[in-house]
Amino acid sequence: MQIPTTNLVLVFLFALHYVNRAIVYPMRMSADSQGVPLLVAACAAAITTLNGYLQCFHLTQIVRHPPLTSSLELDNLSRWAGICLFFVGMGANVHADGVLRNLRRRNDDGDDGGNEQDGTTTTTRRHRRHRQHHRQRAYHIPRSPLFARVSCPNFLGEIIEWFGYSMASGFSLPSVAFLLYTMSNLIPRGIAHHEWYLRKFDDYPIERKWAVLPYVV
Ligand SMILES: NC(=O)c1ccc[n+]([C@@H]2O[C@H](COP(=O)([O-])OP(=O)(O)OC[C@H]3O[C@@H](n4cnc5c(N)ncnc54)[C@H](OP(=O)(O)O)[C@@H]3O)[C@@H](O)[C@H]2O)c1
Ligand SMILES: *[C@@H]1O[C@H](CO)[C@@H](O)[C@H](O)[C@H]1NC(C)=O
């Protein structure tokens, strides 16, 4: 069976996200990031494998999406809008992940203002290693326009991405299921991050009122 071009476009969007998430993101992330428990990583791998199979099986064996043209009829327009939203969301996600990564990096090699001399004694060296350990775990308030209103624009970007993918898929059942899964995963996580920021920083920006979705949650 010849796979329609629209289906291939959707497979491409899906694969593009995972080239970033599975290859580029891990290679760029700081080695000092907090570890992930094995069970969590195993669950994520299992779910992502299952979902990848589901999305691609549906797109290559089940559904035949109509061709995308420049016609101004609603279904064409909304699918093009979905593709645009996918890229907007992915741009926001990658940018916000980069801001967070730089916060983590700043801790790794940052000069915290200590004025100790060259560590020649073991005590000094141990002391420094101890301080470095704390520096690596230091958290900062992210500053970037994307963080103006929400604490987790990386999660918001990811949700916009999969909303766009779903819209470009004509809101097919598997694409909507994946969108709901992503939201039920990232919204509670975002709320937890937001509350943590509010507890941890007295000077947390007051305009940053929302966890993930502006004016919603
Ligand atoms: N589709 C899905 O269901 C799904 C599920 C999970 C994740 N994701 C995506 O995967 C990406 C990463 O997610 P995540 O939950 O790991 O993100 P995260 O908790 O925000 O952490 C991302 C990285 O930034 C660092 N970081 C975060 N906040 C920081 C701060 N205030 N100061 C200094 N460093 C900070 C973290 O360091 P530490 O590790 O040291 O804390 C970590 O290395 C996101 O783009 C997300 O959308 C998607
Ligand atoms: C887009 O419009 C063309 C007609 O120009 C139509 O054949 C096609 O089915 C439409 N595609 C979608 C996704 O609705």
Q: Residue 150 pairs with which residues in a beta bridge?
A: 210
Structure tokens given for 147: 């963080």
Which ligand approaches the C-alpha of residue 211 most closely? 1
What is the rounded CA–CA span in Å between residue 74 and residue 16?
A: 26
**pLDDT at 47 (0 to 100):** 97
User: Does the CB atom of residue 69 touch ligand 2 within 6 A?
Assistant: yes
Q: For 83-126, what is each residue's pLDDT tens digit? A: 999 999 999 999 999 999 999 876 555 444 333 344 445 555 55
Q: What is the amino acid identity at position 212?
A: V
Number of the ligand 1 atom closest to the C-alpha atom of 30: 43
Dihedral angle over CA of 130, 136, 137, 140, nearest 10: 130
Contact 142, 103 (CB under 8 A): yes
**pLDDT at 111 (0 to 100):** 41
Q: For 24-45, what is each residue's pLDDT tens digit? A: 999 999 888 889 999 999 999 9
User: Does the CB atom of residue 71 touch ligand 2 within 6 A?
Assistant: yes
Q: What does the pLDDT average to over 118-138?
A: 54
- The count of other CB atoms within 10 Å of the CB of residue 161 is 25
What is the rounded CA–CA span in Å between residue 65 and residue 172?
A: 10
* pTM, two decimal places: 0.89
How far is the centre of ligand 2, averaged over its atoms, from the C-alpha of 171 (Å)? 16
Instruction: Tell me: pLDDT of 130 over 90.
Output: no
**pLDDT at 142 (0 to 100):** 97
**pLDDT at 72 (0 to 100):** 95
Q: For 140-186, what is each residue's pLDDT tens digit? A: 999 999 999 999 999 999 999 999 999 999 999 999 999 999 999 99
Structure tokens given for 155: 């999660």
**pLDDT at 30 (0 to 100):** 87
- Best mutation site among 69, 70, 167, 172 for ligand 2, i.e. most ligand atoms within 8 A of its Cβ? 69
Residue identifier of the C-alpha nearest atom 4 of ligand 2? 71
How far is the centre of ligand 1, averaged over its atoms, from the C-alpha of 114 (Å)? 29
**pLDDT at 32 (0 to 100):** 84
**pLDDT at 114 (0 to 100):** 36
Nearest of 66, 54, 52, 61 to residue 2 by alpha carbon = 61
Q: What does the pLDDT average to over 35-58?
A: 97
How far is the centre of ligand 2, averaged over its atoms, from the C-alpha of 76 (Å)? 6
User: Does the CB atom of residue 76 touch ligand 2 within 6 A?
Assistant: yes
